[in-house]
Amino acid sequence: MLGGKKVLLGITGGIAAYKTTFLVRLLIKAGAEVKVILTDSASSFVSPLTLATLSKNPVLSSFIKEESGETDWNNHVELGLWADLMIIAPATANTLSKMANGACDNLLLATYLSAKCPVFYAPAMDLDMYKHPSTKASFEKLKAFGNHMIPATSGELASGLHGEGRMAEPEDIINAVTDFLSEGLPLSGKKVLITAGPTYEAIDPVRFIGNHSSGTMGYELAKTAADLGASVYLVSGPTSLNVAHTNIKLIRVVSADEMYEAAHSYFEEIDIAIAAAAVADYRPKTIAGQKIKKASDTLSLDLVRNKDILRSLGERKQNQFLVGFALETENELENAKGKLKRKNLDAIVLNSLNDLGAGFGKATNKITFIDKNSVIKTFELKTKAAVAADILSEICSRIHA
């Protein structure tokens, strides 16, 4: 949700300002570009140098800036227009009152009055201040202006009192913003389970049976689903890929058995499941405790069949929309349709190793989307990110039909 967003963070003078270092890190980790405006009093609680280092941008605190002997000004209008969203945290009683009444005596307030984007504020003050009628009046005015409050929580306060007034934690601020950005998106409020990558089936402590899956297709599906507003559980086999998205929970596994357990642990609570992983069909019957030494020209392994994750999910399916993948080399359409029916799927994504540019280890893929009503749609060769968008578009068109 925050990837590529331009975020203006205003920090005012409260002890909770120390938490903004963590908030900046979370925003950067989520892919946002961050600029920080610090009031004079806020710099007593948190270092401008720390915030500049974390945000990778100079910290702004006054209208006038002097650099290399030259005098210029920080244009509050440009700042307000630059931002996709503005967060004021902590928002003290003093600043909230000024915001509510149009006072404009520092760069932060001038920028707030110039902002055209959604504005979020996280109050932080002592218990009696938080409950005071004038503070409540500020809240009401700011709500009427269209601003978004991230309510304070209860806890131990700087005064030693215990009660309401503690600034929301950085993670909760991020969640509040992403929930707002998710509203109205096709998968807002939906939970999606995606399996990705290969599985490794151990032979001994050194060797394993695996395949060439990179996990790219599954990871692109996870990112696309998250961008569409879904909460995503990404169960990934061994891969060098990583993902940084506030809507994605990454669960790393190694073997087919581990993937089976992880997928089933989330399946009941999800709305959509997409099994994009290349799961090993077989595993060694026994795993050697020590590295197997070369003793002869041949080595025989007894293999036993792994649990069929997709079939087992199909058997447990109630209201979930379940999608499988079929990687075929012959009789592609016939085999894919058979798999869709046998495993009680709602749809299946067919790709063929006979198509140039498709398959494992490629940056592209060429798919055919088939649903349980035998509606078939074939797509051209595309990047896997574009393929993920096509797959999620087809799913959304069916769950919202």
- Active-site option among 74, 75, 175, 211: 211
Token output for 280:
């090993």
Calpha distance 257→309 (Å, rounded): 9
Catalytic-residue membership of 211 = yes
| Residue showing tokens 């799961």 | 279
CB 309 within 8 A of CB 263: yes
Residue 208's alpha-carbon distances to 47, 288, 308, in angstroms, are 51, 11, 19
Q: What is the DSSP letter of 12?
A: -
Token output for 224:
């696309």
CA dihedral (345, 242, 366, 401) positive or negative: positive
Token output for 278:
């290349």
CB 225 within 8 A of CB 232: yes
Calpha distance 204→201 (Å, rounded): 9
| Residue showing tokens 């120390």 | 18
Contacts of 144 (CB under 8 A, 6+ apart): none
Q: Coil, helix or strand for 397?
A: helix
Q: Tell me the CA end-to-end span of the chain in Å, nearest whole number.
A: 25
**Torsion angle (degrees, nearest 10) of CA 163, 166, 171, 175:** 80
Cα 355 to chain centroid distance, Å, stands at: 32
Contacts of 162 (CB under 8 A, 6+ apart): 127, 154, 155, 156
Nearest to 368 by CA among 388, 387, 349, 394: 349
So which residues are the catalytic ones?
A: 211
